[in-house]
Structure 1
Amino acid sequence: MRRLLDFVYDSAAALAALFMVGLLGMVLLSIVSRQLHFHVSGADAYAGYLMAASGFLALAHTLKRGEHIRVTLLLNALKGKAKKAFEIWALAIACLLALLFAAYSCKLAWQSHEFHDISTGNDATPLWIPQIAMALGTVILAIAFIDELVLEILDRRSQASPGDALRNE
């Protein structure tokens, strides 16, 4: 099961990276088209869709690598059972919020599909297409939070060392 979950998180991150490369392509296409005096309709909208897809699909991978921002002031002051209880409580709340976010994201994509909702820009893209990445990313994030909660309950969750936060530039 661990290998399957890690594969899902890594695949979502790889897809996010692919969308990021697509975003770069759209931005470069937009720059080149302005310099050469022609217009690519919808390039800005597609750049936005790709940026959102990249961000949402990377959420779970970022969480599992311990790269999300955490406020650890209270957590560092606690020891033993109190610290574990607080971690479980925080992860349970995070699971609830992530599940709600996933449910509403999936509902939004489904309703956009049902109502044939399209973007208001020149591209007239059916909105459920870019919303799928948001729904998928939030579902995988909810799974990752549940995974973290289960690992914490079983005392198998890896803890980031305090110095890990300092490696950011």
Structure 2
Amino acid sequence: MSTVRRALDALYFAAGVLAALCLIVILALIVIQMLARWPFTAPVFFPITEAIPGIPEYAGYAMATASFLAFANALNKGSHIRVSLLLNALGPRARWVMEIWCFVIATAVGWYVCYYIYRMLGFAIQFNDVSQGQDATPLWIAQTPMMVGAVILAIALTDNLLNLIFTGKHRIVRDVADGHSE
């Protein structure tokens, strides 16, 4: 079981690292776009923006990729918003039941989102759908990383649910502001 645990933790961490790299890509794309508009740097950077049409669209694709890839890592780091006011007021048994209920709902929604992103991706491939921006990129290229991130989040939610059922504790690291120490 420790091999599976290490593999899952590595998957969540790798997704978080890739999300951070996407943020760096967004920064670079925005800076290139800005520099291409300034008169004293335009001779250097304007040819780049002309050669790569749709830089703002690529920044948007990177933002969607960063968001979806970061979800699982953020979940386990306690960065998602959890309203724990009610959970903190409950006793241990009621708290456990309520957390299982929450994870069952979240896991079901996570896998439901994966299914519909998969369908959306299939339609994009089937109909050769392209973006409406200057880049005319096939949408399946932009949607695939989103699908990967959604699947990793659904795996993380399932992982936390199973951990909670079998060990009595989820794997979310509590934030100091949460007000409950375990």
TM-score by shorter chain over 0.5: yes
Alpha-carbon distance in 1 for matches of 2:60, 2:18? 16
- Given residue 135 of structure 2, which amino acid in structure 1 is its aligned partner? D
Partner-residue secondary structure (3-state), 1:119:
coil
Name the counterpart of 1:22: 25
* CA shift for structure 1 position 157: 2.6
Give the structure 1 partner of residue 154 of structure 2.
142
Greater C-alpha Rg: 2
- Change in 2 beyond 3 A, CA 1:124/1:72: same
Provide the rounded CA distance (Å) in 1 between the counterparts of 2:104 and 2:144.
Answer: 25
The Cα offsets for residues 53-99 of structure 1, whole Å up to 9 and x where unpaired, read as: 11110000000111110011211111121111000000000000001
Q: Is 1:163 aligned to 2:166, yes or no?
A: no
Q: What's the TM-score once normalised by structure 1's chain length? A: 0.92
Aligned match of 1:91 = 103
Q: Contact between 2:78 and 2:174, CA under 8 Å: does it hold in 1?
A: no
Q: Which runs of 5+ in 1 are unaligned?
A: none
Of residues 152, 156, 163, the one that matches 2:164 is 152
- Give how far 1:158 is off: 4.3
SS at match of 2:106: helix
* Higher mean C-alpha displacement, 49-58 vs 36-45: 36-45
How far off is 1:4 after superposition? 0.6
Identity of aligned residues (%): 40
Aligned-CA RMSD value: 1.7
Select between 72-81 and 34-43 the one with higher mean Cα deviation: 34-43
TM-score (norm 2): 0.86
The one-character-per-residue Cα deviations of 1:124-163 (angstroms, maximum 9, x if unpaired) are 0001101011111110000000000011112243464562
Tell me the distance in 2 between the aligned counterparts of 1:158 and 1:15.
21
Instruction: Give the equivalent residue in structure 2 for 1:11.
Output: 14
CA-to-partner distance for each residue in 1:3-52, whole Å, 9 max, x for gaps? 01011111111111111111111001100111117372201100101111
CA distance in structure 1 between the aligned counterparts of 2:174 and 2:6, rounded to whole angstroms: 24
Q: Please state whether the residue corresponding to 1:60 is helix, strand or coil.
A: helix
Letter in 1 for 2:103: L
Q: How many residues align?
A: 166
1:118 aligns with 2:137: no
**What is the identity, as a one-letter code, of the residue corresponding to 1:3?**
R
